[in-house]
Structure 1
Amino acid sequence: MDFEYKQYQLLAYLQQINAHFNKTRLYPNLNDLIFHYNNLKKFKQDKTTLEAGFPVRLSSIDMAAVKITYEKIVNDDTMMQEIEQIISYAASKIKPAIKEGQEIYDFVESHLVISEVGMRPLYPNNGYLLLRNGDEKGIRVYEYQVTLFESQHEKYRGIHTTYLTKYERHFIYNTPEAIRKDLIHTRRELPNPAVYQVESDITFPVENTLLPLAKKTLVKTISALN
C-alpha cells in the first residue's frame, strides 16, 4: 500500500486511456473509468457510514458554550489512512478523464443520424442495423435483438448484435432499401424485419466507438416507440 507506487500505476493506466481517447476509441475505456470511479465513491461512502456507527466517548463539556465534545474510540490505522490518500488522489485524476471521454462521446453522437428503412413492423425489437462509417466504402449489416429487463425499481433495455455481412456502397444497387429487400429474400427467418440505418459523416473506429454508440442510438429510438 505504497502511495507513490499506486500513484505511478494510476498515471500509467490513465496514460493508456488517454492514448485510446486521442484515437477516438471510447470503449471499453470509458466504461472502465466510470466503474472504477463509482467504486471509489462507494468505498468512501461506506467508510463514512461505518464510522458513524463506531462507539464514542465523552471527551469534555463546556457549560458556558453549551458544547459537548466526543472522541472516537476506534481510529484509522496507518494503512487505512494510506488507502484513503490513494483513493482521494485516484478520484481527482479519474474524474477529469471521464469528462474527456464524455466530451468525445457527445461529439461522436452529434455526428450520428438514424433513419428507418422501409415500413415499420409491429414488433421492432428484432431486425437489422445498417452501419455507414464516414468515408469508408461499404455498409455493414448487423442483426439485432432488443431485450427488456426489469428490476425492482425500473425497466431498461439491452441490445445484442451479430455481424452478418458488408455490402459495397453503390448509388443505384446497394441503397438501404435495396439492402433491406435482399436481406428479406436471403434470410427468410425475418420475413418482415425492422431495418434501421445509422450513419456518420466522420469515420470513427467501428468496434470501439461507432458500433457501441449506434446500438445506444437504436435502443433509444426503439424505446421511444413503445
Structure 2
Amino acid sequence: MNTLPVNWLTEGLIDFEYKKYLLLAYLKAVKAEFGEQRLYPVFSDLIMHYRNLQQVKEHKQLVYEQFPERISRSDFEKLELVYEKIVEDDETMQQIEEIIQFASPLFNHALKEGKELYDFVERHLEINPVGITPIYHNEGYIFLEAYPGKETQVYLYHITVFENTYEKYKGINTRHLQTIRRGLAQTHESLKVRLLRERQELPNPATFAVVSRVPVPLEHALLPIAKRSLVKYVTRLAS
C-alpha cells in the first residue's frame, strides 16, 4: 500500500501542492484498504498521523507515548528535532498551517470510516469463557474463529500493564500455537482439554473463545480487534 512517512508534514519540500499530492495518494490507498476490510496497520497509522498533525497545529511538545508501538524511540526523537526547528521558522510554519487546514478534515473523515469499520467488526464478535475460568485472567489461551468458523486459531496470550506519567494502560501479546480444523465433535471444551494434555506450562489457564459472525481478514482486522476486545472483557471480569 502507498504509505505516508512518519514526518511527511515537515520533511522534504514544504509546498502545499506537493503535500496535498502525497496526502491524497495516501488516503486513496487507505480507502482501498478499508474497502477490503483491512483495518491494520493502516488504522494505527492514521491515528499516529492525526495526532502528529494536532500536536504541530497546537504548537505543543510531541509526546512519545501517544504514538503507536511501531514508531521507534530514535525515529520519534528525529521527528521531535525537526518539529522544534519548524516552529521557530514563521514563514515555514505558515506553509505548514495551510497544509494542516487542508489535511485535518480529510484525516477526520478517514478516521471516522476506520472507527465505523472497527465498531462493526467488534459488534459482531462473541467472547465466551471456555470451561471454568480461574481468578487470574491475564494469561491463557484464545480460540479465535473467523467466519464461517471451519478452523480455530489457537493463541497463547499475556496481558501486561504499562504506566507512564499520565496514565496506566494494558497491552496484550499473543503467540500463535496451532490451527485446528473443526469437526462436529470438536467443541471448545474438548479442545481445551486436549491443549492441557499437550502443554503443561499453564496448569489452570484462562481460556476464551472469540468468534466472528462476519467475514473479515484474520491478520488485518479480526486478530487485532479480538485482542483489544479481550483486554476489555478481562478488565470487566476483574472489576
The alignment's TM-score, normalised by the length of structure 2, stands at: 0.79
What one-letter code is carried by the residue in structure 2 that aligns with 1:98? Answer: L
CA RMSD of aligned residues (A): 1.5
For the residues of structure 1 that align with 2:144 and 2:97, how far apart are their CA atoms?
46
Map of 1:88-107 to 2, 5 A cutoff? 88-107=101-120
Corresponding position: 1:180 with 2:223: no
Residue-by-residue CA offset, 1:184-220 (whole Å, 9 max, x unaligned): 0000111111100000111210111000111011101
Shift, 1:225, TM fit: 2.1
- What is the letter of the counterpart of residue 135 of structure 2? L
Structure 1 residue ranges without an equivalent (≥5): 48-74
Deviations 1:18-58 (A, max 9, x none): 110000011111111111111111111117xxxxxxxxxxx
Flag structure 2 segments of 5+ consecutive residues without an equivalent.
1-13, 61-87
Q: Identity of paired residues, percent? A: 47
* Residues 125, 147 of structure 1: 8 Å contact kept: yes
1:185-224 matches, cutoff 5 A: 185-224=197-236
The structure with the greater share of residues assigned to strand is 1
Counterparts of 1:77 and 1:222 in 2: how far apart (Å)?
A: 49
Alignment of 1:19 onto 2:32: yes
Q: Which has the larger radius of gyration?
A: 1
**Residue 69 of structure 1 corresponds to which residue in structure 2?**
none
Moved more, 177-186 or 35-44: 35-44
Distance 2:110 2:150 in 1: 33
Tell me the number of residue pairs that the alignment of Structure 1 and Structure 2 aligns.
Answer: 198
The structural deviation recorded for 1:222 is: 1.0
Which residue, 12, 27, 38 being the options, matches 2:51?
38
TM-score, normalised to structure 1, is 0.84
| SS of alignment partner, residue 199 of structure 1 | strand
Q: Is the 8 A contact 1:136 1:203 kept in 2?
A: no
CA contact (8 A) 1:128 1:141 kept: yes
